[in-house]
Amino acid sequence: MLLSMLVSLVLPPFLVHRMSAAEYSAWVLILQLSAYVGLLDFGLQTAIGKFVAEHEAAGDDEANHHLVSTSFTILTAASLIAAIAMIVAAQHIPALFHQMPAALVPQVRWGVLAAGLSAAFALPFSSFSAIFTGLQRYGFPTVVAIATRVLSAATLIVLLLLHHGLVPMALTMGAFNVVGAVAQYLGWRAYIRGKVDFSFLVFHGKSAIRLAKYGSVLSLWTVAMLLISGLDTVIVGHYDYPNTGFYAIASSVTNAMLALISSLFGPLLPAFSSMQAGTKPERMGELCIRASRYCAILLCLFGLPLILGAYPLLSMWVGRAYAARSALYLQLLVVGNIVRQLATPYVIGVVATGKQHLATISAIAEASVNVGLSIWLVQRYGAIGVAVGTLVGAVVCLGVHVMVSMRYTRSTILIPRRHYVVAGLLRPLLMAAPSLFLLPFWRPLQMLPAPPVLLAAWLVATTATAWMVGLNADERRGFKSASLRLLYWPHQRA
């Protein structure tokens, strides 16, 4: 994930400096439309990871064979639907983005077809990546993800240096989508075929019903996430096309932060899945609160520098012209996504224990508020209205989780809500307090947002608060012990 984030840091400066703002906006929209193919996953990738972990713990190899084979068949049908959807979307580009320059429309059409159809081809092969996840063997999928990401980025940079346009760039992305998909299949054959078998064109009725029961609610969550975070750039493109590229720069930074958080806490899903049969709800709740506290600390560590240093960081990354237009978007999006992601460990626990239907109301409430408010505000205030809609929707999401969802999931994850709010959220969030004292001296659009002495004091105070308040005494001792083991590990191996 860190290497992928490095690619994400290197590529955008090449894009924004070698493409006009209109071209960069078009490229962002090509990627966004092709990403919608993933919505037709129907939650099956998560379901495969969960059930493979359970079947592996129970030693039921036949159930895994039926599960994976049936999932691949379902996703193959979904990929055909996705391909048709991409063809239709390509034909309606002028209606979707009526402010887009006419000269870019043919290129965007071909770009959507190249990126979208390749994503549709790759959709069924996500089954093999999910098998690795269920077995908690992350090495091979990580290598494939890094290789395809790095090589595709390098190829895009070469194309930009050679002054190629949107179509060759989209064809490059499409080619690497196909290569990555085939690599996942070959990795399954080489490394885990003996553990989880698979057959083409197999449809097992009981497995399909089980997947449908589990994935149907996840599909609602997927649609809700489309409305929450997948439509924002498209909404800006439709109503405020000139600011699409600037909004996308801010969105890409927050997406990188969220991807890192997701990768760090993603292993909780198979872990919770394998634990749920023999673990009491009280214990599951304690683990959730503890993970929530770590999540809040990490979100602050990543998010606070982005909020306070939005302009200087963006200036060093994509230049001052983009920074001046993107800084406010970034600040609002970071705050909104910090609020939403505070519930990440709880959501993972709910999905892992199969109780996601009891927490769906939160996703529906956030999606409704986010989209409705964003569309209303963007018509009055432009792209900034979409960022505000994201922030308000995130507050609604967290509130509904605490006030409603946690009441209904007590049978599997028993969380005292007051303890969750105080120990899991407010306590680690106190590390944001030093930032409040920095605000009177904050200069938003300057390379040095505050005097150096104050910045140094803020850094020390924030780190000390995270250590002394965010963590308890046992966790501090555990962290010191782990750090010492890591420090002396090379000497022990020698």
Structure confidence at residue 491 (pLDDT): 55
Encoded tokens for 488: 């002396």
Give CA–CA dist 129/181, Å, rounded: 9
Please report where in the chains the tokens 């240093």 appear, as a residue. 309
Cα end-to-end distance, the chain, whole Å: 29
Give CA–CA dist 103/126, Å, rounded: 36
Q: Are 51 and 133 in contact (CB under 8 A)?
A: no
Closest CA to 45 of 25, 72, 85: 72
Please report where in the chains the tokens 């996504």 appear, as a residue. 337
Q: Are 388 and 332 in contact (CB under 8 A)?
A: yes
Give CA–CA dist 399/140, Å, rounded: 38
Structure confidence at residue 4 (pLDDT): 66
Encoded tokens for 464: 């000390």
Distances (CA, A) of 340 to 71, 231, 319, 344, 437: 30, 17, 29, 8, 24
DSSP category for residue 40: G
Most distant pair of Cα atoms in the chain: their distance: 66
Give CA–CA dist 145/5, Å, rounded: 12
Encoded tokens for 414: 């028993």
Residues belonging to the chain? 494
The answer for residues whose C-beta is within 8 angstroms of residue 482's C-beta and 6 or more apart is none
Give CA–CA dist 34/38, Å, rounded: 8
Give CA–CA dist 272/349, Å, rounded: 6
The CA-based angle 140-82-265, given to 5 degrees, is 40
Please report where in the chains the tokens 């009055």 appear, as a residue. 380
Give CA–CA dist 126/87, Å, rounded: 22
Distances (CA, A) of 87 to 37, 93, 99, 311, 438: 12, 10, 21, 39, 51
> For residue 192, which phi and psi values (nearest 5 degrees)?
-130, 15
Query: How many H helices and E strands in the chain?
Result: 25, 0
State the sign of the Cα–Cα–Cα–Cα dihedral 145, 150, 153, 154.
Answer: negative
Give CA–CA dist 345/266, Å, rounded: 9
Q: Are 57 and 120 in contact (CB under 8 A)?
A: no
Q: What is the 3-state secondary structure (H, E, C) of 350-363?
A: HHHCCCHHHHHHHH
**Rounded (10°) CA dihedral 450, 454, 456, 458:** -100
Give CA–CA dist 26/325, Å, rounded: 18
Encoded tokens for 262: 């997701």
The CA-based angle 263-267-303, given to 5 degrees, is 35
> For residue 357, which phi and psi values (nearest 5 degrees)?
-65, -25
Each residue's pLDDT, cut to its tens digit, for the chain (494 residues) gives 666 667 777 788 888 888 888 999 999 899 888 888 887 777 777 777 778 777 777 777 787 788 888 888 888 988 999 999 999 999 999 988 988 999 999 999 999 999 999 999 999 988 888 888 777 787 888 888 888 888 898 898 899 888 888 999 999 999 999 999 999 889 888 888 878 887 787 777 777 787 777 766 667 767 777 667 778 888 999 899 999 999 989 988 888 888 788 878 877 877 777 776 667 888 888 989 999 999 999 999 999 999 999 999 999 988 888 999 999 999 999 999 999 999 999 988 888 887 777 778 888 888 889 989 999 999 999 999 999 999 999 999 999 999 999 999 888 888 999 999 998 999 999 999 999 988 888 888 888 888 899 999 999 999 999 888 888 888 888 888 887 887 766 555 55
Encoded tokens for 170: 């989209």
Give CA–CA dist 320/313, Å, rounded: 10
The upper half-sphere exposure of residue 375, i.e. CA atoms within 13 Å in the direction of its Cβ, equals 10
Structure confidence at residue 88 (pLDDT): 94
